[in-house]
Amino acid sequence: MNGIQVRVARQEDCPRMMELIRELALFEKAPQEVTVTMEEFTEAGFGARPVYKAFVAEANGAVIGFALYYIRYSTWKGCRLYLEDLLITEEFRGRGVGSLLFDELIRECRRQGFNGMTWQGLDWNEPAIGFYRKYGAALDPEWLNGSLSKEQILGFEEIAGE
């Protein structure tokens, strides 16, 4: 891609990455679900104990997309890269930027010796499904996603009767 550069994310990219996260949340019809603060986001990636890494795509010095990942351990498969989010600002979608980022993730898996890569996608996001199918990805409709909110965790003793 002409003029598009992929590089490792830096701490100063966090404000733009948060803007893109909010843009994604709007696209996914869930803007109220973004509750992480800038401080939490920055600390989680660039603080004393980082839990995620990311690659960013730039055009003319501006971040236009990113791929955020962390290491997941599978008792069946071993260490795998878990892709939390791959997102491109709307203006640049459909121009191959996602492929540049996804290709870099695959190279990272190879560099680190990971046993694979996993991610989740929404069943109604046809462009994303088509994108992953181009890579020959296996898309599994059988697994359900579970989660507990921060409020549920903080209220655990109340729920458990402790």
**Separation CA 116–CA 79 (nearest Å):** 8
101 CB burial (10 A radius; 0-12, 13-18, 19+) = buried
- The confidence score (pLDDT) of residue 154 equals 83
- The confidence score (pLDDT) of residue 143 equals 78
* Half-sphere exposure (Cβ direction) of 53: Cα atoms closer than 13 Å: 13
Which residues constitute the domain of residue 124? 4-160
**Separation CA 80–CA 138 (nearest Å):** 15
- The confidence score (pLDDT) of residue 1 equals 58
- The confidence score (pLDDT) of residue 161 equals 61
**Among 70, 82, 132, 135, the one annotated catalytic:** 132
- CB-CB contact of 102 with 135 (8 Å): yes
**Separation CA 148–CA 153 (nearest Å):** 7
- The confidence score (pLDDT) of residue 44 equals 98
**pTM (two decimals):** 0.88
Annotated catalytic residue 73: no
- The confidence score (pLDDT) of residue 112 equals 96
* Ranges under pLDDT 50 in the chain: none
- The confidence score (pLDDT) of residue 158 equals 65
Concatenated DSSP letters of 22-81: HHHHHHTT-GGG----HHHHHHHHHSSS---EEEEEEETTEEEEEEEEEEEEETTTEEEE
Q: What is the CATH number of the domain that holds 32?
A: 3.40.630.30
Q: How many independent structural domains does the chain possess?
A: 1
